[in-house]
Amino acid sequence: MVFSSITFLFYFLPIVLVIYYIAPKKYKNVVLLIVSFLFYFYGEPKYIYIMTLLIICTYILGICMYRYKKYKTLFLILSIVINIGTLIYFKYANFLIQNINLWLYKKIDFIYVVLPIGISFYVFQLISYIIDVYKEDTKVQKNILKLATYISLFPQLIAGPIVRYKDIEKQLEDRSHTFSKFSLGVRRFIIGLGKKVLISNVLGELCSKFLISYDNSVLFYWLYAIANMLQIYFDFSGYSDMAIGLGKMFGFEIFENFNYPYIASSIREFWKRWHISLSLWFRDYIYIPLGGNRVETLKWIRNILIVWILTGLWHGAAWNFIIWGLYFGILLIIEKVFLEKYFKKIPKIFSRIYTLITVMISFIIFSGENINVIMQNIGGLVGINTNSIVSLESIYYLKSYFIVIVLGIIGATPILKNIITKVNNQKLINILEPICLLCILVISTSYIVDSSFNPFLYFRF
């Protein structure tokens, strides 16, 4: 069940909100746990037992770690092996078999397995919980229902953000429910819905048309590259906005996951602004334990490459994701060793252009079916293997999607936010904001009803 669906917007969510708010305080977590499992069961009935078993195993091993501290390292290793092993089996088994067959000339049969929705997210949350308990950064949760509620919380269950237990522990025990927080949640949810439905979905249609078109003009390659870059951002940031908004409706404060990444002036800054929860997870649980940057240069380079290969693999079991991760790892090394000193001397506009172009190329890699397609789409930007600079088809699509692309570019920057901040007439804002939000909701709903194109790119992770 996706958030941008009629079933969720007008049936599931209103019913859940009514039940949640009429339930006594001591039963609110129970309500959330039940509806979260129902939410997951609706989309993934076959594999709900996997999430359930991993929660139970992690809960038991956490209790064992608390009671038998002498063996807590053993319990930690066992928990990580169980969680990562499950993730590897469902997400990477056939990828491993494919490469073994290719490189070792074997004929191992593929395993029939379907990737459970959201497994990468909830496995990472389980691992962060057990590591924090091991390090005594948080207390072990002795109530399995509360741990299960944390893992299965439906606003962030299937596509993040990756919420750490220690950041939400107190909120599971006690959280405030105010009209102000609820209204902010509704506002944030509607903005996210608009980003997803009115920008990401529309630009996704343009990308789909490019992929089936025989037009290979330079303009069309650039249209695709820009649309693809914006689609991915508005898809995932829109989902994160909806998750954060839903969290507020149920009294939770979920941390920000995006902070206008396309205004970054370096790749390092970009990853401080893009998918923040994933970046922090890899920093705290992989990069720093490896030694971070407090080691000699060669080991630091090793640490960077390990983290970014794993980051690429986390996004998908395919070589383009590994290349995508390595691409960012190498860029970060080059920036640190060579470019950082020059970024401080040159105007920011140049470093921002560099960042935008390198990120745009990264998403061509990210979205590519194979190496040939990736190289063709990158080469097309500079006129390699193209017939013309401009074509009638590319001009047609430019005119058709121009307004959405411009809205996407503006929406990917803090321009509107800054304008609203500078407007001193709070009364005018109070009148206009509800009207604008209502328009976004109505138009988004109309689009959902009228369109069959409504994917969530990050469901595959």
pLDDT in tens, 296-334: 989 999 999 999 999 999 998 899 999 999 999 999 999
Where in the sequence numbering do the catalytic residues fall? 315
How far is 268 from 265, CA to CA, in rounded Å? 8
How far is 446 from 8, CA to CA, in rounded Å? 15
Give me the percent of the chain exceeding a pLDDT of 70. Answer: 97
Q: What tokens were used for 415?
A: 């321009």
How far is 232 from 236, CA to CA, in rounded Å? 6
Long-range Cβ contact pairs of 38-42 (< 8 A, separation 24 or more): 39/1, 39/12, 39/154, 39/157, 40/117, 40/118, 40/152, 40/154, 40/157, 40/158, 42/1, 42/12
How far is 300 from 362, CA to CA, in rounded Å? 23
How far is 230 from 163, CA to CA, in rounded Å? 25
Q: What tokens were used for 349?
A: 């506009």
Q: How many CB atoms lie within 10 A of CB 442?
A: 10
Give me the pLDDT at residue 284, please.
Answer: 94
Question: What is the average per-residue pLDDT within 415-432?
Answer: 78
pLDDT in tens, 70-121: 899 999 999 999 999 999 999 998 888 888 888 887 888 888 888 888 899 9
Q: How many CA atoms lie within 13 A of 323 on its CB side?
A: 16
Taking the CA atoms of the chain, what radius of gyration do you get in angstroms? 23
Mean pLDDT of the chain: 90
Give me the pLDDT at residue 292, please.
Answer: 87
How confident is residue 368, by pLDDT bands cut at 50, 70 and 90?
confident
How far is 240 from 235, CA to CA, in rounded Å? 9
pLDDT in tens, 250-285: 999 998 999 999 999 999 999 999 999 999 999 999
How far is 457 from 238, CA to CA, in rounded Å? 11
366 close to 320: Cβ distance less than 8 angstroms: yes
- pTM of the complete model: 0.91
Q: How many CB atoms lie within 10 A of CB 431?
A: 10
Give me the pLDDT at residue 44, please.
Answer: 76
Give me the pLDDT at residue 387, please.
Answer: 78
- Per DSSP, helices labelled H in 264-347 are 267-273, 276-282, 297-315, 319-334, 340-343
Closest Cα to residue 17, out of 326, 367, 251?
251
Give me the pLDDT at residue 314, please.
Answer: 93
Give me the pLDDT at residue 385, please.
Answer: 80
How far is 172 from 149, CA to CA, in rounded Å? 8
